[in-house]
Structure 1
Amino acid sequence: MTTAPTMNASRQRPEPWPRSFRLLYAASLIDGVGFHVGQLAVPVLAVALLAASPGQVGVLAALSTAAFLLIGLPAGVWVDRLPRRAVLVIADFTRAALVASVPLAWWAGWLSIPQLYLVVLLTGVGTVFADVAAQSWLPELVGRNRLVAANSLMMSTGATMQIAGRGLGGLVVQALTAPVAIVLDAVSFAVSGTVLSRIRPEAPHPLRSRATGSFARQLGAGVRHVAGNPLLRPLALSTAGINLTMQLTTTMLPVVFLRELELGAAALGVFLGVGGVGALLGALSARSLAERIGHGRALWLPGLLVAPLGGLVALVHTGPMLWLAGIGWMALAWRTGVGNVIGVSLRQGATPDALLGRMNATFRFLLTGALTVGAVAAGLLGQYADVRTALVVGAVTNGLTWLPVFCSPLRTLHRPPVPD
Structure 2
Amino acid sequence: MTTIHPGQTTSLRALLSKEGRRDPNPHYARLHQLGPVCLLPDPVDRFDVVVHGYDAVQQALRDPALHVMTDDYPDRRGTQRWRAHSALRTLVKSIFFTDGPDHTRVRRLFSQAFSARRVAALEPAIVRIIERRLDRLAELGAGGTPVDLLAEFALPVPSDVVGELLGVAEADRDWFPERVRAFGAILDLGVGVWRYQQAADTAAEELTAYFADLVAKRRAEPRDDLVSAIVHGGAANTGELSDDELLANLLTMYNGGFVTTTHLIGNSVVLLLERPDDLARVLADTARAGSFVQEVLRYEPPTHFSIRWAAADTEVAGVRVPRDSRVLVLLGAANRDPHQFPDPDVFDPTRDQGQPMSFGLGVHYCLGAMLSKMEGQLALPMLFRRFPKLALAAEPGERRTLMLRGYETLPVVLS
- Return the TM-score normalized by structure 1: 0.30
- Return the TM-score normalized by structure 2: 0.31
Q: Between Structure 1 and Structure 2, which shows a larger proportion of helix residues?
A: 1
Q: Between Structure 1 and Structure 2, which shows a larger proportion of strand residues?
A: 2
